[in-house]
Each structure stands twice: as C-alpha cells, then as structure tokens.
Amino acid sequence: MKKLFKRFIAFAFAAALLLAPLSTPITTYAASQSTSTENIKANSNKGSYYTGTIEGTGVRFRSSPKVDSSNIIRTFTKGEKIGVYNSDINCAYADGYWWSYVEDKNGVYGYVASNYFSTDGIE
C-alpha cells in the first residue's frame, strides 16, 4: 500500500509539472515609450544608462565602492535624481553592499550602495 501511495504521488507530481504550462496563460508586455527613450540612453563606455531616485536621506555618494569615511563626495537627499550606469563592469560588491556607478545632477561620477536607490520604471 505504501509503495502504491508513493507511485500515485510521483504520478500526480509529474502530471502537474507537465500540465502547468498548458494551464498558465502567457502574458506579454510592451515596453512603454518613456522607458525606451527617456530612462535609457546608450553609452558605449559605461553601459546602459537609467534614471534613478534616491530612497533615503543622507545617502552617501562615494568616490570608490566601499565604506570608508575618506571616500565620501557628498550626501544625497531623499527623492534626488541620479543617472545609473548598468553593466557588469560598473557594479561591485564590497563591505556587504552592491555598489552602482552613478552620476549626480552636477555631472559628478561616483558610487552609491544599490539598496539606497530605485531605478525609475526599470527593474
């Protein structure tokens, strides 16, 4: 009886895996015009460029991707807009944070811990 029960469970699981794609509707999404033209611009040296918004008060803008009091350029205010460069070479993990290479409103480049900002409409 125990063997029969195990076979039944295995069969039910296999059937669920096979039938799940058939019962799940396929949804497609079209990119909005603002996403394709305003939030992303090609940059051959730094990767894709996204606009972002600072999510905290006193978020530190740093010259290098690490926690060090000597590398603070300035602090951001909540809601401030930044440019975020998205590519593998512009992202670093150090001191428990993922750091992103960004540009502030004055055209200054540096790093911000990625958990302190959001990208506008792009995830």
Q: Return the CATH number at 59.
A: 2.30.30.40
- Asked whether residue 111 is assigned to any structural domain, the reply reads yes
Compute the average pLDDT of residues 2-25: 52
- Asked whether residue 107 is assigned to any structural domain, the reply reads yes
Rounded CA-CA distance 47/84 in Å is: 9
Give the Cβ contact number of residue 21 at 10 Å: 8
In a 3-state reduction of DSSP, which class is residue 85?
strand
pLDDT digits (tens, 9 = 90+) for 76-108: 999 999 999 876 666 788 999 999 999 999 999
- Asked whether residue 31 is assigned to any structural domain, the reply reads no
Rounded CA-CA distance 99/67 in Å is: 10
Q: Residue 73: which domain range?
A: 38-119
Q: Does residue 99 contact residue 112 with C-beta atoms inside 8 Å?
A: yes
Structure tokens at 95: 């001191």
Q: Does residue 67 contact residue 97 with C-beta atoms inside 8 Å?
A: yes
pLDDT digits (tens, 9 = 90+) for 55-73: 999 999 999 999 999 999 9
Count up the domains in the chain and report the number. Answer: 1
- Asked whether residue 52 is assigned to any structural domain, the reply reads yes
